[in-house]
Each structure stands twice: as C-alpha cells, then as structure tokens.
Structure 1
Amino acid sequence: MKTNNTSKLTIRRAGDRGHAEHGWLDSWHTFSFADYYDPAQMGYRSLRVINEDIIAPGQGFGMHPHESMEIFTYLIAGELEHQDSMGHGRTIKAGEFQYMSAGDGVLHAERNPGSEAAHLLQIWLTPKQAGGEPRYADLKPAERKSNEPLTLLASATGRDGSLQIRQHADISLGKLSAGALWQHPAHNDRPHLWLQMIQGRVQLAGQTLQAGDAVAIDHSPLRLRADEESEFLLFELE
C-alpha cells in the first residue's frame, strides 16, 4: 500500500484475503504469501505477513529455514509446540505471544501437539538491518496486563517489559469491553498504524470491523467504539 503525509484510512476485509486449504491447514493471507499473489497486497511498511492459520491436531510445519525476518506468533486458541536450531523447545498456549528473529539464519518447526485445532496469527516484519544472531523469546500478555486497553508486546527498545525486536515498531495487544470508547494517537516517529481484528466488533469512522478485518491508518489517531467485547493487535510503524 502506498502512503503519504496526509491522513488516510484503508480497510482490508477478512473475506478479501487470500485463502489456502490444505486439509491439515486452513490459512488466510492478508498479504501475498506462498501461492497467493496480489501486487496490490505486498505488505504495509515493514509489516510483510499476517496469516491467520488453523492447524489440525498433530499437524504442523516441519523444520524449515528463515533469515533476516522478524517472526511472531499470537496464539488465539489451542497449543503450538516450537523447536529451533538454537536449541529452544517450548509449547505456547492460547493468549501467549512468541518471537523469533531469524537473523543470519535459523531452522524452526511449529506443530500442534494438542487434541483440538490450533488457531493463530503468524506475523512477519522485515528487520531494520539484515543479519545478526538469531533470537527467541516468548511472553504471556495476561501476566503484564494493566488497566490500559493496550499491552505492549514488542518494541525496538524492549521498554516496559516488552520483547526487544530489530525494527522500529511497536506491537500491542488491545482489548476493549462492550461499549468502550478509545482513542490512540499516531506518533510522529511511528505514524502508520495497522489494526488487525482478532475477535469482537468495533466501529471506526463509520465502518464496522469484525474478526479477520484490518485497517491501515496513516498520520491520524485511531478512534474506536466497541459494540461488544473485542480483541485486536495494533502495529505502530515508521
């Protein structure tokens, strides 16, 4: 998506995303990915991939390589087992957030070890600079939750207990109760916002956003009203 220094709002509807059904994997692609290609949907700023994946029990992605990519997983439901060539092995559960910086190169595998489907968002950001030592970390947002609508998950500096990443970006988990009104500013150094709905329904500038919908907002505050209890990820980007 092209942007400029004037206020702009672009909605990406859930039903307009690319879709791949592999039997064991049901995947929706916000941006071009694998066999889904749309030259108008190649990412947003440093945000390159948002895949909504549903992985069948006992299935997953075998060991495969990545390099020079910031990779995140937010688990909506179920469990996901992670293994990598750095020696990390971890099973994350619903509501947890996982980060892997591929750096100069890393191998990893992700598998659903549970008896129910694993429902997740897989997210890639391009790093500020290529290379570096690979990294792995994860966190439980619920353990850091305050009374604020946003919980900061990742940032360039690792401030406020967030995961430190290799991009000048903030990634936050937002939760609003039914009827809540909320406004969030666009910062001068991160004026491009991407909101990815996880569940619920909110109103934004006369538009209804539901699970799977997303919106890009350039150089403008974010103003939401929640029609029902809602959850989303917010990306603040250069």
Structure 2
Amino acid sequence: MKATIFKASDRGSADYGWLKPNYYFSFSQYHNPEKVHFGLLRVLNDDFIAGGGVFHTHPHDNMEIVTIPFTGAIQHKDSTGGQGVIKAGDVQIMSAGSGIQHSEANASATDPVTLFQIWVYPKVENIKPRYDQRTFDANDRQNKWQVVVSPNEADNALWINQDARFALTNLTAGKQIEYTNAFKGNGVFLVVINGGVTVGDVQLGKRDAVGIEADSFTITASEDAELLAIEVPMDFQS
C-alpha cells in the first residue's frame, strides 16, 4: 500500500474575515508544488463561512463540484435554475460541464457554516451543466460505508461524471472497516472529519488525510471517528 500523508497542520490557509478556508491542495493564493492534486481530485477545501458570508456569482466549467456541509446551511443558486438550501446531512453535486454560473451564501445572518468543497476532474468534458442534492441519513453509515456520490446506479447515490465514488462512515472506537475500490486502478483520499483512526501503520487525527494507492485497505478507529473516502482515478495528465 502506497500512502501519502496530509496532516491537518500542514494545510494551506487564509483569512478573509467572513471566510476562513483550509486547503489540502494548491488553491487561490496558496500554492505548494507538492500538493496540487491526488489523481483526478483537484480541490478539497475545508471552509468556515461566517454568518452573512456570500460567494457572489462566479463561473466554473468542466469540473465535478461536491459540497458536504457539517454545520449550518448554505444557500445555492445557479444558471441552470438549480437552487436550494444545503444543510448538515445533505450532499450537493454540480457538474459545471460546458459552463455554469453560481452563487453560494450562508443561509444565516449570524450562525457560521462549516463544509468541505471538493472538485474532481470530469470523465467527459463539455456536458450539459447539471445540479443535484440529497439528504442522507447518518444512521445508515454507522460502522459501514454509505455511498453518497457514484456513477453506478446500484449505489443509489448522487450521480457524478467520473469513475469516482464518495463514501462516509461513522466508526465506533475499536471497530474496523475495510474499503475496497469500486474501480480498478483508482486511489482513495481518506479524510478524518472527526476522531482518530489508523490505516496500516499510519495514525490520523481530526482533519488529517491520507492518499492511498491500493485495491483495498483496513481502517481501525482509535476513537469514535467520522470519515470521508474520496475514490478517484489516478491517471492524471496535466
């Protein structure tokens, strides 16, 4: 198993007042030539958005964009007519495709929002832009994987224009879980949302991550833990 560790303390960061992001990969004014992508995973931003904070209308194209809120709620609106409030327990995906304009705003004037925003390169470029969101029951991920994003209809998840899969689990301390790739040759970027785990001889705490290149691997919870596994193709070509 090849494992590349991304410690939370080593992430890039910024402070825009209303927005305080932490960057796992180079983004905006943060650039680290050793942390530009993991396979076709290009962006993973851990954002704190203060009450009243707004990302004004801006464009994207040819990127699969997934948003996973942990606290608070975010208001989304885009040029496809897609709109909605995304809150903790929800997952949103937007295929930017041939081009889309969208805005995001904290739905509260006072309460903060915390979320992950994740960008994955698409499988097919210039598709018709699309938007979707869904609420997932956290009880269905207790000590097992809950697939929330996948191109496979059998997974009953949000569809993505890529051979990629996103899965969440809440592990009880002492429990083990195995992850097996859905697609041959893919890698997995495993993020500890909360808690602590070990993967092989790698110990990970809150917001630590590890990029794993293996067909499967086993995770042991050293304490109660919430995890996100982002499986992506590794055949990146710049």
Matching residue within 23, 26, 29 for 1:29? 23
Structure 2 unmatched ranges of 5 or more:
234-238
Matching residue within 49, 55, 74 for 2:49? 55
SS at match of 1:145: helix
Q: TM-score of the superposition, structure 2-length normalised? A: 0.92
> Corresponding residue for 1:237?
232
**Alpha-carbon spacing, 1:158–1:144, altered in 2? closer, same or farther (3 Å):** farther
SS at match of 2:165: strand
CA distance in 2, matches of 1:230, 1:141: 18
Query: Amino acid of the residue matched to residue 11 of structure 1?
Result: I
> Corresponding residue for 2:169?
174
Q: Is the 8 A contact 1:76 1:120 kept in 2?
A: yes
Residues 1:92 and 2:86 aligned together: yes
> Corresponding residue for 2:67?
73
Q: Displacement, 1:206?
A: 2.6
- How many pairs are equivalent? 232
CA distance in 2, matches of 1:186, 1:47: 15
Structure 1 unmatched ranges of 5 or more:
1-6
> Corresponding residue for 2:236?
none
Matching residue within 6, 27, 31 for 1:12? 6
Q: Is the 8 A contact 2:26 2:32 kept in 1?
A: yes
Q: TM-score of the superposition, structure 1-length normalised? A: 0.92
CA distance in 1, matches of 2:215, 2:159: 26
Alignment of 1:1-238 (within 5 A): 7-114=1-108, 115-142=110-137, 145=140, 149-186=144-181, 189-238=184-233
SS at match of 2:189: strand
CA distance in 2, matches of 1:181, 1:187: 19
RMSD of aligned alpha carbons: 1.6
Q: For each residue in 1:56-103, what CA deviation from the matched residue of structure 2 results, as whole angstroms up to 9, or x when unmatched?
A: 001120110000000010001111110111112201111211000001
Q: Is the 8 A contact 1:169 1:190 kept in 2?
A: no
SS at match of 1:189: coil
